[in-house]
Chains A and B, each alone.
Chain A
Amino acid sequence: MSEPQLVPLNAIFSTDFVEILVPVTTANTMDEVAAAVAHHSEGRRVRALPYPKVVVHNGRALPGDLTVGDAGIQPLDHVAVEYDTTGASS
């Protein structure tokens, strides 16, 4: 199995005001990518909400256990991390 490769991303968290640089690796899962992006915004500029987070890449919401490598996310790609409110009661 090859070593994980560094994948720097252009990322935005939910309603935040700025895209940021977030380094991840090909071995990181989407749940880990979401946490890495949220780390810089959630509870700092964007109020934390009690919902799971989902990574959106090229308009597709990706499963939490999918890795960066398997998702085909390339260095410098853009990802958005959103709160997944589909399971929330209305």
Chain B
Amino acid sequence: MTLLKREEWQDFVRDVDWTLSYVDEEAAFPEWFSGTGKVPREAWLKWEEDYKVSYQEYVYTQREKETSTYAVKAALSRSTTFDHLDEGWKSSTKMHFGGVAQVEYTAVLAELKMARFGLNGAWRNMATFGQLDELRHNALTTYFGHEFVVKDPQYDWTQKAYTTNDWVPISLRTLFDGIMTTSNVVDCALQVPLAFETGFTNLQFVALSADALESGDINFANMISSIQTDEARHSQQGVATLEILVEHDPVRAQWVIDKGFWGSARAFAALTGPSMDYYTPVEHRKQSYREFMEEWIVDQFVRTIEDYGLKKPWFWDEFMRGLDTWHHSLHMGMWWWRPTLWWKPKAGVSKDERDWLREKYPNWETVYGDKWDVIIDNINNNNVEATLPETLPYLCSTCHLPCCNPTQSRDGSWRIRNKSLSYSGRTYHFCSNGCRQIWWKDRDNVNHQTLVDRFLAGAIQPMTVEGILGYMGMTPEVMGDDPDYTAWTKDYVGREATGLVQVGGAS
């Protein structure tokens, strides 16, 4: 018997749906999970993905991808490539493995939710492929990171990081529980496949892949490129869902996308910004974080939402200004609180590196140069102890990242300006106006306490730096430190230094 061609049968099967008779619609697709809101149930009949895939094609393609990814890995595992990678680059991979591997499993749950509660059969099919994708990403990323545990215990956090109470994973859990775990499927499709995957995963997977190749890490580039080809397919759920929502409830569509974009922008400023502009060796950087954001995220995102009649988010100016500051401040914060990290953050502020930063970010020296100079002078005066933390950074109640976004006043000076609000007799602090506004609108749906909240509530004992590190799950063999202080301080040895603190055995 001759098989039918795909186009001859796919229209009949891709959106097969049930005619319910034993239960009513609300029992099968409860509003709190399916989230149709103002959209009439029948409107979802028009849901359609652009790029259609059958199960047979899916399995065939995925098998090919898996075979080639593991073939490259097997070939490279016999080489000494890893041993010759720069420590800064290795830190980019440790950060990626710990920050991404188990998030992929949370994405499995998000896709499964859409595969069950999506309001159209075609959507549920696409989400079924999506959950298989995410399971593959979880397995790939965990396995690739696991290979290096024998060489460096920090890679153990590939599997461990996401379930610890380290401040970085708490911040990630806050974001992903908000957009993946607790959202209804309509909001989930707009925030995960649309805002997060269509836009931001390009940043981690395309940009970092380019830097990986330049840095000689073919294995890592191979892994994340393979993952990105899946994202391009299952992220279609976003636009297909937006098309219908925007017709019936554009205000909701705008708010949900704006919120997903903002949360993603904050997380990637922490995860990808330092990797691109500090950890990757300067000679191997393809683009600055800002350049990549403008080319791959800003233009594409604005085009997508304007195509559907939506506007730029209300926070757009604050976000664009933040491209010059957010990740630089977060880099300084992560370096300062380096014992709380499972990687070795390199400061990356030698004279050559600063030349590059000044070229890419004309205000960099004005905003950050003075602070790094004091740090450098302390190190060159045998005073490293003065550069170690003795308290916590204040963490934003929305994104859980440090409150460290400077803004420029009319007189030209750059300062951190406090952004707070009072609610139910308590004061909450935020890193930005965007985070404050989102918290206020979502205040009944806040799902995690910041590390500072936990500390003040007495959940962390003893209330010391050691107690905090223990609470985070940090152990001495994993605790982060700069991999090579000399590399970025030697250019400044011998210069006159005033106004330093004297701590411990400093001379």
Contacts and interface: CB of A to CB of B under 8 A. Distances in A.
Partners in one complex: yes
Interface in B370-417: 370-371, 373-375, 378, 386-387, 389-394, 402-404, 406, 413-416
A78 B420 CA distance: 8
B341 to A, nearest CB: 16
Given A10-B429, A42-B501, A77-B427, A19 B374 contact: no
A21 interface: yes
Given A47-B499, A76-B427, 14 more contacts: A10-B394, A11-B394, A12-B418, A15-B370, A15-B414, A17-B333, A18-B403, A20-B394, A21-B455, A40-B391, A42-B501, A43-B386, A46-B370, A46-B371
Nearest to A80: B418
Contact of A18 (B329, B378, B386, B500): B329
B329 A47 contact: no
A74 interface: yes
Interface string B142-164: 00000000000000000000000
B479 interface: no
Nearest to B413: A15
Contact of B500 (A12, A19, A43): A43
Contacts of A77: 427
A73 to B, nearest CB: 11
B2 interface: no
Contacts, number: 107
A75 B429 CA distance: 12
A43 B501 contact: yes
Contacts of B415: 12, 15
B65 to A, nearest CB: 42
Classify chain B: how many residues form its interface, as a range. Answer: 35 or more
B375 A18 contact: no
B394 A44 contact: no
B499 A43 contact: yes
Interface of A, helix, strand, loop or mixed by DSSP? loop
Contacts of B498: 47-48
Given A39-B390, A47-B499, A76 B426 contact: yes
Given A19-B429, A20-B394, A21-B392, A10 B500 contact: no
A16 interface: yes
Contact of B333 (A11, A18, A40, A43): A18
A75 B456 CA distance: 10
A22 interface: yes
A41 to B, nearest CB: 9
16 contacts: A10-B403, A15-B370, A17-B367, A17-B371, A18-B394, A18-B403, A18-B416, A19-B393, A19-B403, A19-B418, A20-B392, A20-B394, A43-B499, A48-B498, A76-B427, A80-B418
Contacts of B402: 18-19
A26 to B, nearest CB: 16
Contact of B394 (A17, A21, A46): A21
B452 A18 contact: no
Contacts of B333: 17-18
B92 to A, nearest CB: 22
Nearest to A49: B499
Nearest to A40: B391
Interface in B404-457: 404, 406, 413-416, 418, 420, 426-429, 452, 455-456
Contacts of B329: 17-18
A84 B329 CA distance: 26
A10 B394 CA distance: 7
Contacts of A11: 394
Contacts of B502: 43
A77 B429 CA distance: 9
Contact of A47 (B374, B406, B426): B374
